Structure 1
Amino acid sequence: MFEQIQKAIRFPEAARRKAAATLVRPFVSDAFSEESHIDTDWDNLIILDGCRYDTFQEHNPFSESVTEGISNASHTTDFLARNLTGDRSDMVYVTASPQVTKCESRFYKVVHVWQDAWDEELRTVPPQSVTKAAIEASEEYPDKRLIVHYMQPHYPFIGPTGRDLETHATFTGGLRKREHPSIWEMLSSGEVSEDEVKKAYEENLEIVLDEVVTLADRIDGKTVITSDHGNLFGERVSPLPVRIYGHPSNLPAKGLTSVPYVELEHDERRSISKGDHEEQEEEHEEVKSRLEDLGYV
């Protein structure tokens, strides 16, 4: 409790956003789906963190059409807990998200790209590093299903508009300064406009989609592209006159559960086999600071 009070004092706008999500949850009419798109048929599953269906639809670079998938989570932690349970020993998870450390024992192998490819200036993992690691993993583990988890379009924004906004919303040494709030706090307090933040978000998506196109051309088997959850830019998600920003956990609002789902054309399928969990040698000492860099308070 004392730690929560300290956080509220240090990050008052973040505390207000959390309180707003708590207030509207009982009044949200939607419910989470019980189905999981993780259990659909694929050899390669590409996850774009925090990607809305409608935004992907506007920027879809593939000839295949995008359909509206329904996520059963509104936060990466919930997504992992609800979708990736049980025996996943036929899967290799290549991830830019430190959240996966919480469930890595379920997979044959987890490749933590964020450990070696974290960009201190951008405060995230550039998508090019994820593409490189995914191609290497597909070659090293040809008999495993491959999950590739890019951090974009999730904040921090790494395109020109987002970098400009970052001059007003920075993190130092993994600890957020009170005078430099996150972009969602700035948006909710009116310091930046919704149009600016949406443009930065769209730039993030375009940047990562360039890498997804590259990756899809380099790996074999059936590839599916989707997201763990969407994102809100101040929408009202209940009858209450309360606006929600970002992606609070356990909030089944349409802007958070509506995600893209694209099946790419493919030729031969990979032959997949289960195996004993490969020993993970890393100790994840930097998880907390990396999550703070990504805007998780």
Structure 2
Amino acid sequence: MAILHALSEIADHYDNRYWWRERFQERIVSPVLARIHGRDGVDVAEREWDNLLILDACRADMFESVIDLGDFDSYEEVCSRGSSSPDWIAANFADRELGDIVYITANPWVAKEAPSSFHKVVDVWAEEQTGDEEIHTDELDQRDLATSPAATVTAQRLNGAVERVADEHPNKRYIVHYFQPHAPCIGLPDGSVKDEQEMDLLLHPGKPLYEGRIEREAVWEAYEENLAYVVSHARQLAIDLGGKSVFTADHGELFGDWLWPFPIRGYAHPRNLRHPALVTVPWAELTVGTRRRIESGATSRTDIERTAVTEQLEKLGYM
């Protein structure tokens, strides 16, 4: 069956250079980079924090250039356990009992990789969008553009969900998984969301950048704006929640970086690719007021159906 599947894949993609590139990266480049850079990474659940604020696909060097590090009590670079969200979630949380944590997420990979590891998982992406929080777009080729604004949870919407969780579970640790600065680049540095006319869906470091349909500088600048946008809301959430907050990332991002020692460039955030730009992430700490008393408890399984998770991942270009 494996051979038949391989032959079918080759028949479907034999003339697709991007597909062949990804296969070479997966089978040859990834094992070599793992030997060079290792697979170790920080165990985030074991670190001290009350609120873990995940900035999806945030490189450490971009965080350091965009965000004022003086706003935090301390800052360091740490090594992530994953080069993509599913890698990171599985490596940190799968098959663990973390009854002191409520995970509030805009990212659907939690429901797939660690559905029963937490006291509760709040899948904000699965909640119905209404009013000003909804981003309207025309019909898109999801696989081509990789990520649709219509499938994206804004930072404002996620913060609203966290406020509800804090009222219901006042003695838990919170993991708040934002979707930004990951594409689509919906945000502006002042904390507002772009109008539809301002959104350029080609501003993605994956296939559009590889094919030369967009310049690297344009994608990088859009990510910087998206990062400033999400951090403005994450910082306000840290103030509102109080306690010890950590601003970090599940993984970084490749913008055509060289995959040394191979003479090829990398794009976006492939799974199991231990490149420094993908696994070096920020770790910024900020304590506001007094820390709350944390109580452990039972874990529960997310009630999101697997088909709903798959459908959302397809909207985001993963399937």
TM more than 0.5: yes
Counterpart CA distance in 2 for 1:202 and 1:69 is 20
Q: 2:23 aligns with which of 9, 12, 19?
A: 19
Please tell me the residue identity of whatever aligns with 2:200: L
1:56 aligns with 2:56: no
Give the percent of matched residue pairs that are identical in Structure 1 and Structure 2. Answer: 36
Query: Could you tell me which amino acid in structure 1 is paired with residue 56 of structure 2?
Result: D
Q: Which residue pairs with 1:68 in the alignment?
A: 77
Partner residue of 1:107 out of 105, 114, 118: 118
Match of 2:175 among 139, 147, 156: 147
Secondary structure in 2 matching 1:275: coil
Alignment correspondent of 1:33: 40
Letter in 2 for 1:140: E
Q: Secondary structure of the residue that 2:243 maps to in structure 1? A: coil
- Pairing partner for 2:185 from 137, 153, 157: 157
User: What is the 5 A alignment of 1:198-217?
Assistant: 198-217=220-239
Distance in 1 separating the partners of 2:108 and 2:9 = 22
User: Deviation of residue 108 (structure 1)?
Assistant: 0.6
Mark the CA change 1:157 to 1:228 in structure 2 (over 3 Å): closer, same or farther: same
What is the distance in 2 between the residues matched to 1:290 and 1:50? 18
Give CA deviations for 1:103-135 in whole Å, capped at 9, x if unaligned. Answer: 121111110000124745313111111111112
Alpha-carbon separation, structure 2, partners of 1:164 and 1:16? 30
Q: Give a deviation string over 1:7-39, Cα, whole Å, max 9, x none.
A: 637x93551441242232233221122542332
Query: Hey, what does 1:177 align to over in structure 2?
Result: none
Determine which of 16, 37, 52 is the counterpart of 1:45: 52
1:78 match? 87
Provide TM-score, normalisation by structure 1: 0.86
Query: How far apart are the structure 1 equivalents of 2:155 and 2:135?
Result: 11
- Amino acid aligned to 2:277: G
TM-fit CA distance, 1:282: 3.8
* Residue identity in the other structure for 1:100: V
How big is each residue's C-alpha offset from its partner over 1:78-100, in whole Å with a ceiling of 9 and x where there is no partner?
11111113111111000000101
Alpha-carbon deviation of 1:40?
0.6
Question: Equivalences for 1:85-100 in 2 at 5 Å?
Answer: 85=94, 86-100=96-110
Over 3 Å counting, the alpha-carbon distance change for 1:281 and 1:33 in structure 2 is closer
TM-score normalized by structure 2?
0.81
After TM superposition, give the deviation of residue 61 of structure 1 in Å: 4.5
CA distance in 2, matches of 1:155, 1:93: 21
- Aligned in 2, Cα 1:283/1:146: closer, same or farther, shift over 3 Å? same
Asked if residue 229 in structure 1 is aligned to residue 236 in structure 2, the reply is: no
8 Å CA contact 2:119–2:297 kept in 1: the answer is: yes
- Match 2:242 to one of 220, 230, 249: 220
User: Which 5+ residue runs of structure 1 have no aligned equivalent?
Assistant: 170-181
Matches within 5 A, 1:215-294: 215-278=237-300, 280-294=302-316
Distance 1:227 1:34 in 2: 12
Q: Secondary structure at the match of 2:37?
A: coil
Deviation of 1:280 (Å): 4.2
CA distance 1:56–1:13, change in 2 (3 Å): farther
CA root-mean-square deviation? 2.5
Greater alpha carbon shift after TM alignment, 263-272 vs 185-194: 263-272
CA distance 1:150–1:255, shift in 2 (3 Å): same
One-letter code of the match for 1:15?
W
What is the total number of aligned residue pairs between the two structures? 283
Once the 2 structures are TM-superposed, how far is the Cα of residue 278 of structure 1 from its aligned partner? 4.4
Q: Distance in 2 between matches of 1:110 and 1:144?
A: 12
Letter in 2 for 1:154: H
Contact 1:49/1:149 (8 A) holds in 2: yes
**For each residue in 1:122-155, what CA deviation from the matched residue of structure 2 results, as whole angstroms up to 9, or x when unmatched?**
1311111111111211121011111000011111
- Alpha-carbon distance in structure 1 between the residues aligned to 2:249 and 2:55: 5
Q: Distance in 2 between matches of 1:109 and 1:211?
A: 23
SS in 2 for 1:286: helix
- Three-state SS of the structure 2 residue aligned to 1:165 is coil
Q: Which amino acid aligns with 1:269?
A: R
State the alpha-carbon separation in 2 of the partners of residues 33 and 284 from structure 1. Answer: 30
- Aligned letter for 2:298? D
